Structure 1
Amino acid sequence: MSKSGKTAKRMSIMLIAVAVIFALVFGWGVLRSIFIAKFLKGFANQAQTVATIEAGRTPWQPVVQSVGSLTAINGASLSAEVGGIVDTIDFRSGEDVKKGDVLLTLRPNNDPAVLAQLKAQARLDAINYARDQKQFAADAVSRSQLDTDRANLDAANAQVAAQQATMDEKIVRAPFSGRLGIRQVDVGQYLQAGTAIVSLEQLNPLFVDFHLPQQEVSRLAPGQTVDVSIDTFPGKSLKAKITAIGATIDSDTRSIPVRAVMENDGLALRPGMFVSVSVETSKPVEAVTLPQTAITYSSYGDTVYLVKHASGGKEQDGLVAEQVFVTLGATRGDQVQVLSGVRPGDAVVTAGQVKLHNGSPVVVNNKIQPSNDPNPNPPNE
């Protein structure tokens, strides 16, 4: 064989080898893609484990919720009407007092002496007036003299009353019954008129002040029940009654002020406390409810997954998930009201729906269920 023939033979063998290698590479790629597609197809059709609940109708009390604060029926920061030096303090911080109890007195200085002098002048004017009355009856004095005597007596009595009022202003009394706050002054301290001495609050009953949206005005009326909860006493619900509804709507918040009254027999509550309120706006109704964990919230609509038998409709065909859109109402605790999309008796997925799509095969395991409590009370740790 010639040299050129040998070269051609080597080239043919090399080309055949390269072709075989390329065929093996591309063949393996195609085969791998087929295996991956089969694997993914099998994985996609793998049954997903979910928890479900049977939708049913439950009593639902329509309420509107808000937040507010407690306010004393009567509350004041007490002060003296006139200036002076504190002479006596007749109360202790935090004690209960009755209306009219003396709390503090200012140093009287010469006030009693001035009062005694004015009373003596008034007595003298009374004697002169009585004497001139007898003289006038005997035509011994003129009518003008008698009128002057009467005016002097009235002026003297007025001066006595004015001095007595000035002395009374140096005595600070409780304007109503209640509980005192922390004392702000000391004996011997000079007080300007209006300087705060101590706060006084009437603790029973208390006002509950809150605001509600303007669209709720037509459903509000005095006498309605208000459920009040306070984080200071978790798990405890208190009752109040609406006594007043504001006359105007706040133009900034478009809400209306509402005031309720609540008993505070144990005096455990304090004015200024933050509270959560719920107002019953109508009679209870029957509503379809679901745990809020069953809802998939999104911008294009809220959905849930229903568990149904496969297209054959027979139990042996297995279970599949069906995604449906729902219209939601109010919420309470862990529950949400479903207005449309779910009917009583439907099996609704409450856990595991993140793994689902429409038509996914499912297996139901209800050993663990999410909370579905209308009034949850989480531990406060």
Structure 2
Amino acid sequence: MDLRFTDEELAFREEVREFFRTSLPDPIRRRMIEGHHPSKDDLVTWSRILNAKGWAVPHWPVEWGGTGWSPVKQYIFRDELQQAPAPEPLAFGVSMVGPVIYTFGNDDQKRRFLPRIANLDDWWCQGFSEPGAGSDLASLKTTAKRDGDHYIVNGQKTWTTLAQHADWIFCLARTDSAVKKQEGISFLLIDMKTPGITVRPIQTIDGGHEVNEVFLDDVRVPVENLVGQENKGWDYAKFLLGNERVGIARIGISKARLKRVRELASLERVGDVPLIEIPRFREKLAAVEVELKALEMTQLRVVAAEGRREKGKPDPASSILKIKGSEIQQATTELLMEVVGPFALPYQPEEEGRNEPTDGPDWASTIAPTYFNWRKISIYGGSNEIQKNIIAKAILGF
């Protein structure tokens, strides 16, 4: 298998790289390099720049704003986006609910929602996990009972990322409790302004407000907001999770992080010697770089085989990419913690209007929060333990 890029693909990479170099606003680029979370305004601004270029949803069908790029060009685009580094388009819209709508939704839903997702006119969040129904998602207890032209939804969702910003939530709810648990679930689109919805913040270990609890009390959802068929939501959820894992290795992000490690390790000194020249540190850095290169080769093999795979069928190799990709991302944060040393200790939250001087270098304040926050990477998108079970069943035949 020849994994080298063609001349056309190399020219495309240069085109994409130049666009990111000239079109990504400098303040957003700087915040991304320094490890800050992009704000809502950052994401909206950048998504609309991409959409104006026609690149907001490159993997979608052409009739709904897609580019028609080959899998290789989509890979190159994602890799350059992450290395820029630029904010990735809001995944809950472009990678999750958007593909569900254009694959299983009706024409009215496609016309209503897809253009607004591409331009980030609507901010979406994901209503899947519940207390007691995380990895075992089919055990969810949120119910949706038909009442004329509406469903009455009651239940609780948790770990709902960025729900504080959301205009809409896509939700799994039980519509039939008399059948096997996977067979009685439906996929609903719910306006977050509907009476009966309450969002409560959950403070994460890094002191941030990224995730939330969402309570639904007698929420009336029009039947027209049901995606596909009633009680088929589990099939749509599996399709969505397969899409969520596309690119989950985030190789470009790890490349950008390792570049940042080298840059900062050249500034920090151990005695009279820059940290980057300390043999033990160089060995650790090189080991992660080698693993990342091996992962990139594996990702390219998956991309090369994509055209031969049965359409709509998830590739179990995505589980391998997810496991190793998350481990490498976490390893990059460990290297940054070693670079920052004792200046990782002070708690220095990102607060608007905060004017006290930071302890240590200006770049130090985000490293420890990122390290703690990224412990989640091996859990979301299907925990690594679950991914190993998928590999054992789908690839090894156990």
The TM-score range, normalised by the shorter chain, is: under 0.3
- Between structures 1 and 2, the one with greater helix share: 2
Pair member with larger Rg = 1
TM-score, length-scaled by structure 1: 0.16
TM-score, length-scaled by structure 2: 0.16
